[in-house]
Structures are given as structure tokens and as C-alpha cells.
Amino acid sequence: MGLGFTIHTKIKDIEKFQQTVESQAVESGYNAEHDESSSTVSFCRLGDLFLNYQHEGEGNTDNVISVNGDCQTNMLGPGFHKAAIEFIDRLQQATRTRFEVEDETDYYTERDFEAMKKKHFHKWLAKLFEIIQEQKDKGSTSLLFCWDINKYYPQSDNGIVISPLGSFCLSEVVRRIREEGIESFADDFFIWNNSERDARFHRGMALNAMWEDCYFMPSERSEEDARINGYIISELETTASLDPSLPFPKKEYEELCRCFLRTFFLENFFCGVFALYIPDTLL
């Protein structure tokens, strides 16, 4: 169960097409990687567009190559869906190639962001927790949602939902959705819930990196420690500069600064108003 879109088109030159994908990605602030049979455009953590190339069958004298793309957007939210569709728009224009796009949310044809958010992403989120509640009622104690089995396995108690976005107390989520509506919880659940990469987006990027990849070890231990520590610090500082009123993981930020051997850039922001970020749905 998910949301996203697929694309299909035909080209004659993979290398030329990949060069255009690369240039459009760089121009948009994204990252692209390629091999002989595929390209991946990374918009941010958890946000990828996959393109696969396949030469058509025997007798293909025109050297026609099928391009098939897939992008799952429900992990990040409607903002990512919008950004990915807009990237497809630019890619079509730059390659002068028409794509067949099948969009489960109809955003590709309707371009109504608020309708897409409410009719599809919020509805999907509500249904997700209905399914998880049903699993719990049947006695399941392993409530995992899209968790990568190649990563560590977080310890959890009965009634705790593990996802790439954090761990959630199921009963509290259900209560909040019932009393406040799905819109309230969507702001905490979807990292890219709004159309722009706002303060909530950058905070979500930092929290996801802390949850999945950070060891809170000195940066001098390895290049990977240095990279992830620096990334989280940068995202948190961007968050505070965009919206100082958002709940902020002050303790973790300070610990990472010590690991990174740098001063607390945000010390003047704190002034006792920030506390450890623990949403009321997060255990």
C-alpha cells in the first residue's frame, strides 16, 4: 500500500538522456547517479526517482530504448510528490520527449496540491493506522512500517509502531487522529507535508538521520561519522533559522556539536525556550 507515480517513454541515446537528467538534477539542487541500465535522482533522504533503461527486442533497427520510471512518495509526503512531478515536467521539456505518466494522486493532471494532500496522503495515513490497529488487535507485537531489514532492529514495546520516521505510540496516534483529525498528525508524520522545503522539512531530515544513521560518536572516528554529524547539525541550524518556534532537540544538537568539535551556533536561539523534541505521539 503506497502512493506515487510511474513514467514511461522511449529514447534513442541513453548517454545523452542521462546527461540531461544530470543537468536538470544539478540545476534543481538534487543528486543523480547513473550506470548503463539505470539512473537514480535523489531529492533528499527517503526521496528517490528511479529510471530504468531497456533496449527493445530483436529487429529493433532504430535502437529504441524504453525508459521506465518509478517514484514512491508516501514516505515523505505530498511536498515530495509535487517536487518529483515538477522535475518530470522539466525533464520532458529539456529532452523534448513526451512521457506517459500514471499518477495515483491525479496531481500530474489536476495540479491541485491541497486536494492531493487531503484526498490522497491524509486518507492514506488514516488508512495506514487503521491497518496497524487491526494487526495489533490480532495479537501482532511486531508493528513495523517500511523498515529496512538491512538496518538495525530497534527495541520496542507492545503497541509501538516502528517506521523510518520514528517510533509512535499507536494508542496515542489513534486518540489524536480521533480528537484532532488526521491533518494534525500529518504535520508530524510527513517530513515533506507542505509544498516547500520549510522548517518542518529540515527538522524532519535531521530527525530521520538521527533515528536511522547517527551513532553520536566523535567525527574523528570515521568519515561516515563526520558526514552524518555535520549533516544533522546543518539541518537543525537551518530549522532554527527558519522557524525558532518549532520544538527542537536541543540535547541531541549539543551532543552532536561536541562530537563534531564545534561551538553551539544556536546558543542564542535557546535561551531556555527549547526542550527535547518529543511529540506527544512519539514515545
Q: What is the pLDDT of residue 159?
A: 83
User: What confidence category does residue 165 fall into, taking pLDDT thresholds of 50, 70 and 90?
Assistant: confident
- What phi, psi does 122 have (nearest 5°)? -70, -40
Higher pLDDT, 266 or 170: 170
Q: What is the DSSP letter of 12?
A: S
Q: What whole-number distance in Å separates Cα of residue 34 and Cα of residue 55?
A: 16
Higher pLDDT, 22 or 248: 22
Cell numbers of 104, please? Answer: 495515483
What is the pTM for the complete model shown? 0.89
Q: Is the pLDDT of residue 238 over 90?
A: yes
The number of C-alpha atoms within 13 Å of 246 and in the hemisphere containing its C-beta is 19
Q: What whole-number distance in Å separates Cα of residue 247 and Cα of residue 191?
A: 14
Q: What whole-number distance in Å separates Cα of residue 134 and Cα of residue 68?
A: 35
- What phi, psi does 157 have (nearest 5°)? -100, 170
Q: What whole-number distance in Å separates Cα of residue 87 and Cα of residue 42?
A: 11
Q: What is the pLDDT of residue 278?
A: 35
Question: Angle at CA 189, nearest 5°, toward 170 and 171?
Answer: 10
Q: What is the pLDDT of residue 149?
A: 75
Secondary element (H or E) of residue 253? helix 250-259
Q: Which residues, other chains included, contact 60 with Cβ-Cβ below 8 Å and sequence gap of 6+? A: none
